[in-house]
Amino acid sequence: MLIPLLSVAALLCAIILSMWSRLNVGLLALVLAYGLGVLGAKMTLRQVMAGFPVPLFLTVLALTLLFGHAQVNGTLGRVAGYAVQLARGRPGLLPLVFFGLAASLGTLGAGNIGAVAMLAPVAMAVAYEADIPPFLMALLVACGGNAASLSPLAPTGVIANDLMGRLGLHGYGWWNYSHCLLAHTSVAMSGYLLLGGAKLIRQKPSDEQNARLAQLLASHRQPLQARHVMTLLVLLSVLVVVSVAKVEIGAVALGAAVLLAVLRVSDEEEVLRNLPWGTILMVCGMTCLMGILERTGGIDLFTWLIEKMSTKGTAPAAIGLSTGLLSAYSSSSGVVLPAFLPILPKLVQKLGGGDLVALANSVNVGAHLVDVSPLSTLGALCLANAQGDTDKLYRQLLAWGLSMALVGAVYCQVVFGILHLGS
């Protein structure tokens, strides 16, 4: 009984440190996995290392490397610069355009963090010049990125699909994405319209506002050069091959990233420096630690803790709330998904039944709805690029993010628990 207890204690320690420490929890998780496996479970080092998710590591690395080229050489920035012209001088429509742009870029493979990192500087500058409340712009940019976070072409979507595949849930990539897209679109549009967006859309901008906005948008209309065209063609080819030929996306993305490096469309060294190594290590380390929990019986105890918070009927709400509260202070893809998705089969068993796919979607949706908070990467990116009263914006984003833990619990219970739309 001691080893299972120690393994659960190790997991809880990793989760708590991920909330309050700057230490990369993935490295800690790897050390704990080695210690528990070799010293506690009498496993060999090779057996412990077998739990390291090599396919997941390579797929996430390939995708981030591919879109790193497109970001470093300015291709995605130029696409964004042209896309914001769609508002046609209507300030109230600009946040909606940025929402759609963040969701589109995230879906195509940039992921939630990549899309928001690229758009936040432009979006928050546009908000300042057009007298758009910065909270409304930050809300729609962050929600747009999160709406696409579970795209099978994006890093977080790859992580969720890999973890669900280990549970025997294959082929749910686009289904997961559609639920995440629906949840974030519903929340973002409701918040935007209720908190001032409806008035903003009806409001006619002054001549001065129009002039400032036109000047700003014109500065982002930069012509596409040969390297940008080549990058777009390669990205389009990857999407076509993956969609039509059903080839493993990691292999295609890695080949495409190498091709772009050979064509010298960007500074490869800068691309490698900008890769999200911290997130990749977090995901792989936590996945390895969860494998040790499964081998030592610790996963039964962790499941028991979650079971005490819920019943068969209220499981979606309990999962939505707990993942939301945890994700508000730690990484959704690096900590929450690797910790909660593996326990779902045993949780269903202990509760006497349940929809495994619906509970998995409760984890996915609940963990991401709070990520507008300034404590998360997306909220912090918007806050860092804001102009004006950033203290007020911080309080607004924090209040919204934390409230989404409760909203997520209600949403998951209604959509997945009552309406049974999750499976």
The region of weakest confidence among 6-15, 240-249, 341-350 is 240-249
Q: How confident is the model at residue 202 (pLDDT cuts 50, 70, 90)?
A: confident
Confidence class for position 3, pLDDT limits 50, 70, 90: confident
Is residue 267's pLDDT more than 70?
yes
Which pLDDT score, from 0 to 100, does residue 9 have? 87
The Cα 227–Cα 149 span in angstroms is: 27
Residue 315: the pLDDT is 94
CA distances from 219 to 59, 78, 286, 415 (A): 36, 11, 43, 43
Query: Exposure of 36 by Cβ count < 10 A (0-12 exposed, 13-18 middle, 19+ buried)?
Result: buried
The region of weakest confidence among 206-215, 306-315, 360-369 is 206-215
pLDDT value at residue 220? 66
Query: What pLDDT sits at residue 320?
Result: 94
pLDDT band at 309 (very low <50, low <70, confident <90, very high): confident
- pLDDT of residue 48 exceeding 80, the answer is yes
Alpha-carbon gap, residue 174 to 196, rounded angstroms: 32
Contact 267, 72 (CB under 8 A): yes
Residue 159 pLDDT > 70: yes
Q: Is the model more confident about 306 or about 161? A: 161
Q: What's the rounded Cα separation, in Å, for the pair 176 and 151?
A: 8
- Candidate from 14-23, 50-59, 287-296 with smallest mean pLDDT: 14-23
- Give the type of residue at 244: V
Cα separation, 367 vs 190, whole angstroms: 19
What is the rounded distance in angstroms from the CA atom of residue 413 to the CA atom of residue 419?
A: 8
pLDDT for residue 20: 75
- In the chain, domain spans: 51-275+309-418
Grade residue 340 by pLDDT with cuts at 50, 70 and 90.
very high
Ranking 32-36, 172-176, 307-311, 337-341 by mean pLDDT, the lowest is 307-311
Supply the pLDDT for residue 1: 62
pLDDT tens-digit series, residues 53-100: 988 899 889 988 998 898 889 887 787 777 766 666 677 888 999 999
Listed as own residue / partner, the contacts of 218-223 with beta carbons closer than 8 Å and 24 or more positions apart are 220/77, 220/80, 220/81, 220/82, 220/84, 220/122, 221/81, 221/82, 221/85, 222/74, 222/77, 222/78, 222/81, 223/78
- pLDDT mean over 355-378: 92
